[in-house]
Amino acid sequence: MSKIKVVHYINNFFANIGGEEKADVPPEIREGKIGPGLALESSLGEEYEIVATAICGDSYFGENIEEAKETLMGMIEKYDPDLFVAGPAFNAGRYGTACGTMAKEVEEKLNIPVITGMYSENPGVDLFKQDIHIIETSISAAGMRKAMKKIADLGDKMVKEEEILSPQEEGYFERGIRVNYFNDVRGSKRAVDMLIKKMKKEEYNTEYPMPVFDRVDPMPAIKDLSKIKVALVTSGGVVPQGNPDKIESSSATKYGIYDISNLESMKKDDFMTIHGGYDRAFVTENPNLVVPLDVMREYEEEGVIGELADYFVTTTGTGTSVGNAKGFGEEFSKKLVEDGVGAVLLTST
């Protein structure tokens, strides 16, 4: 009896090709299982076989999404798989985006079950949870075996067209899909029961969970800008030529702080943009469009602002996880406060 064929997608790190220095490797495919595929095939059981492992560097995928998708699809479809598994990506943002992109592409083009796994703050969750099943994982690969077991269990159900239970029971992120069912207790009684539990501060599960939004109350307006030091901060990916700190073009894991104390404007010979989420042509010619140093120097000279900080802070916003973005802000804001900065001009794209 022939086995159920699986194609597995992983990045350069899990393929044991290398770390960040090898994140630019182009797509390739290898026969059989590699790295985390061992745990996947073991969890799936004897009915299944990983016939091939598709691989792509995270940076290459993020900078060449359409080309990478097309190339990988050409490789994957030759194996005529019955199931496609990507990752899991845990909290790696670029990897999560690649896993979600490829899973969605395979599902649409080959019409087979697909599944991946990510940590809750991975940007790939919000991007793809409505399109595909994403198993919720721990933050790091330390939870690989547990994640693979959940992926395998749900993947097996999908292949065999068994009933997929609720996100809470199966361990995947809610997809916004509601299914009608009959309950033995009418809605009014269930609502009152929940209300009583809430009033007693007892544990209860709502039947209609509401989204949670992070609210930041605005600071009071600045009364006199002419007495304030202002700093430039951007998520637009503008960096010195050559990108010395190797900030990623998407799903950034770092930020940079660069000196502008002796500059009147952002010259294209000195600065570039590595942002992977917009057409960079205009900003490549004039980086001031994203980091308006030229205008801020005019304001400084005219006395509109007290002074401009001697540096600007930069990262890439596209695909960057909420956790990383919050961490960046908490870290560099300490420097801003220490340097007496009273206001920040935060620019995007």
- Tell me the C-alpha distance between 150 and 146, whole Å: 7
Beta bridge partners of 50: 6
pLDDT tens profile 27-72 = 999 999 999 999 999 999 999 999 999 999 998 998 899 999 999 9
Point out the domain boundary residue: 170, 200, 234: 170
Segments forming the whole domain that contains residue 99: 4-170
Is the pTM higher than 0.75?
Answer: no
Count of domains observed in the chain: 2
Query: Per the domain annotation, does 91 fall within a domain?
Result: yes
Positions of the chain with pLDDT lower than 70, given as ranges: 1
**In the structure encoding, which two tokens stand for residue 249, read together?**
């073009």
- pLDDT of the residue at 348: 87
**Residue 85 and residue 15 share a domain:** yes
pLDDT tens profile 318-348 = 878 777 888 899 999 999 999 999 999 999 8
**Residue 235 and residue 146 share a domain:** no
Strand 271-273 and strand 238-240: pairing? antiparallel
Query: Per the domain annotation, does 106 fall within a domain?
Result: yes
- pLDDT of the residue at 50: 97
- pLDDT of the residue at 207: 81
- Tell me the C-alpha distance between 69 and 108, whole Å: 12
**Residue 32 and residue 141 share a domain:** yes
**Residue 256 and residue 164 share a domain:** no
